[in-house]
Amino acid sequence: MKFTQKFNNIVNKNNSLLCVGLDTDLEKIPKRILKKKNPIFEFNKEIIDATHDLVCSYKPNIAFYEAYGIDGLGQLKLTMQYLQKKYPEIPTILDAKRADIPNTARMYAKAAFDFWKADAITVFPTLGLDSLLPFLEYRDKLIILLLKTSNPDSPTFQNFSINRKPYYLAMANIIKTWKYENIGIFVGSTYPNELKRVRDIFPDHTFLSAGIGHQNATIAKAVKSGINKQKKGVMFNVSRHVIYSDSPRKEASKFRDNINKYR
Amino acid sequence: MKFTQKFNNIVNKNNSLLCVGLDTDLEKIPKRILKKKNPIFEFNKEIIDATHDLVCSYKPNIAFYEAYGIDGLGQLKLTMQYLQKKYPEIPTILDAKRADIPNTARMYAKAAFDFWKADAITVFPTLGLDSLLPFLEYRDKLIILLLKTSNPDSPTFQNFSINRKPYYLAMANIIKTWKYENIGIFVGSTYPNELKRVRDIFPDHTFLSAGIGHQNATIAKAVKSGINKQKKGVMFNVSRHVIYSDSPRKEASKFRDNINKYR
């Protein structure tokens, strides 16, 4: 099944544009879970079971698993397998922000889709189209191109002016000439004006946006900037604010409803 | 020990600026090795033993290991441990091309240096200084910023004109104002003019450059563009042309000598 179809199905079923980020840090896991054998997986399992009917996708950021080496990655595998078996209708985004020359990108694509079996991956378009083709060949997967990141220093290199346009917009104008149905777009929710300008260039693409939780982006602005004409087509990621809250279910529910309020 | 000291020691000892890229693809490994238990590691071990006195560093590209999942990464760990135990004087570059917001970059840095125990990592500077600080805090490690990649399509987004300067040079001019001793620079050997222009901006930084093997960059041009005033300060990476040759030792020796010819 194509990503967009799977995504639209779950958006309708769960009435949600909320993506929960599984950025699980051992140092922040409750003590009762730390005692278990695979604490990172067990923690994720609880989050997933508590929120599965409130989300449109899950997004593990692979850095958090790599930090704990082979063991951490083994627990990411358990998490992916759990999702794929118990909730196969929910898309998984591997937030890996990969990018390399074509011969190497081929291996990253193999990892993301043949090993992790993710439904989507985040990648930097900085190396150009040749570096993206090995990902784009997986036609049912969404290849999410990072155009504008959510962090405070992102303007330094992402807002350079090129013929009076900022860098990320100049990139967007080239990317829109690439005729691949499975390109997705990332713009941080902390930059709602930028999100709006990029959305105007890609009215029909699926977007991923992050920053409405811990990074304090305003939900109203982000939602109005990010949705398409059908008031859908975008996933808003929240990680820390949901997964480390006292009640991940309540918190996810609040975020889902707040996002829906502004759709 | 600081990276540059370790690096200069081995450059002098082995009289070499050759970095061998351990981009080990199971599909290209000889059949006699494929029969063994950890074929990727066994292959790497042979390459390392055959070339250790001819190189200035080894650079595994982590994508090739990720493609084989947990098992592949386990064999990268065996490779790193082998290098660290048997050849502790040879620096290891984890070619991972990572980049993420500060809270996540922290986890990538932990992975690279606390788990893999690499001496250096390649990262994209695209997100700005805040995203690099978690890496730069590891003062003895070299944080190699990718300014211009070696692939054919790299000009699309890396040579955009900004106030009449290409993007990668505009980035370089900002990066040179960052006062961190452990910043390294990457420019592809396939773009020797660009390498020269960036070297002029960073006369004293340690460089990594790739492309003189399979990607057909001219050694003479790359060496003249990349070396510093002491005719050192740069690693030239070759992967496929050395590791899949009939005699990796002969091939590495040829590359080392050819590089030295133009120093």
Nearest to A195 by CA among A164, A157, A154: A154
State the virtual CA torsion across A190, B135, B223, A132 in degrees, nearest 10. -40
| Rounded alpha-carbon distances, angstroms, from residue A41 to A16, A25, A33, B225 | 24, 11, 10, 49
- The sign of the CA dihedral A236, A75, A100, B125 is positive
Residue that is written with structure tokens 């200084």 in the block: B129
| pLDDT score recorded for residue B217 | 75
Nearest to A74 by CA among B24, A82, A87, B123: A82
Contact of A217 with chain B, judged by CB distance below 8 Å, is answered with: no
Instruction: Kindly list the catalytic residues of A.
Output: 97
Best mutation site among B61, B65, B80, B103 for testing chain A: the one with the most A CBs within 10 Å? B103
Residues B162, A162: C-beta atoms closer than 8 Å: yes
Q: For A101, which of B116, B151, B174 is closest by C-beta distance?
A: B151
Residue A166 has pLDDT above 80, yes or no: yes
Contact of A127 with chain B, judged by CB distance below 8 Å, is answered with: yes
> Does the predicted TM-score (pTM) go above 0.95?
yes
Contact of A151 with chain B, judged by CB distance below 8 Å, is answered with: yes
% of residues, chain A, pLDDT over 70? 100
Residues B153, A130: C-beta atoms closer than 8 Å: yes
Radius of gyration over alpha carbons of chain B, in Å? Answer: 17
In sequence order, the β-bridge partners of residue B144 are B122, B184
Task: Compute the average pLDDT of residues A67-92.
Answer: 98
Per-position DSSP letters for A37-98, written without gaps between them: SSHHHHHHHHHHHHHTTT-SEEE-BTHHHHTTHHHHHHHHHHHHHHHHHH-TTS-BEEEEEE
In the chain, the amino acid numbered B143 is: I
Task: Compute the average pLDDT of residues A85-89.
Answer: 98
- For residues B217 and B193, is the Cβ–Cβ distance under 8 A? no
Question: Which residue in B has a C-alpha nearest to residue A105's C-alpha?
Answer: B63
d(CA B171, nearest CA chain A) in Å: 7
Residues B160, A162: C-beta atoms closer than 8 Å: yes
Say if residue B204 is exposed, middle or buried (CB neighbours under 10 Å; 0-12, 13-18, 19+): exposed
- For residues B33 and B46, is the Cβ–Cβ distance under 8 A? yes
Q: Which of A60-64, A139-143, B25-29 has the lowest mean pLDDT?
A: B25-29
Radius of gyration over alpha carbons of chain A, in Å? Answer: 17
Residues A158, B126: C-beta atoms closer than 8 Å: yes
Instruction: Kindly list the catalytic residues of B.
Output: 97
Say if residue A216 is exposed, middle or buried (CB neighbours under 10 Å; 0-12, 13-18, 19+): exposed
Q: How many CB atoms lie within 10 A of CB A161?
A: 13
- Residues in A touching B129 (Cβ below 8 Å): 153, 156
Express the helix, strand and coil content of chain B in percent, nearest 5 each: 50, 15, 35
| pLDDT score recorded for residue B77 | 98
HEC per residue, B178-224: CCCCCEEEEECCCCHHHHHHHHHHCCCCEEEEECCCCCCCCHHHHHH
Residue A217 has pLDDT above 80, yes or no: no
Residues A64, B101: C-beta atoms closer than 8 Å: no
- Residues in A touching B174 (Cβ below 8 Å): 156-157
| pLDDT score recorded for residue B215 | 73
Question: Which residue in A has a C-alpha nearest to residue B122's C-alpha?
Answer: A100
Q: What is the mean pLDDT of each run of 10 residues along chain B (263 residues)?
A: 97 98 95 96 98 98 98 98 98 98 97 98 98 98 98 96 93 97 97 98 98 83 97 97 96 97 94
Q: Which H/E stretch holds residue B20?
A: strand B18-21
Contact of A114 with chain B, judged by CB distance below 8 Å, is answered with: yes
Q: How many CB atoms lie within 10 A of CB A44?
A: 25
Average pLDDT, chain A: 97
| pLDDT score recorded for residue B13 | 98
ipTM: 0.97
- Measure the CA–CA gap between A37 and A71, rounded to whole angstroms: 11
Q: Which of A14-28, A84-98, A208-222 has the lowest mean pLDDT?
A: A208-222
- Measure the CA–CA gap between A215 and A198, rounded to whole angstroms: 20
Contact of B177 with chain A, judged by CB distance below 8 Å, is answered with: no
Residue that is written with structure tokens 């805090």 in the block: B137
Q: Which H/E stretch holds residue A168?
A: helix A167-175
Residues B104, A157: C-beta atoms closer than 8 Å: no
Best mutation site among A64, A94, A115, A127 for testing chain B: the one with the most B CBs within 10 Å? A127
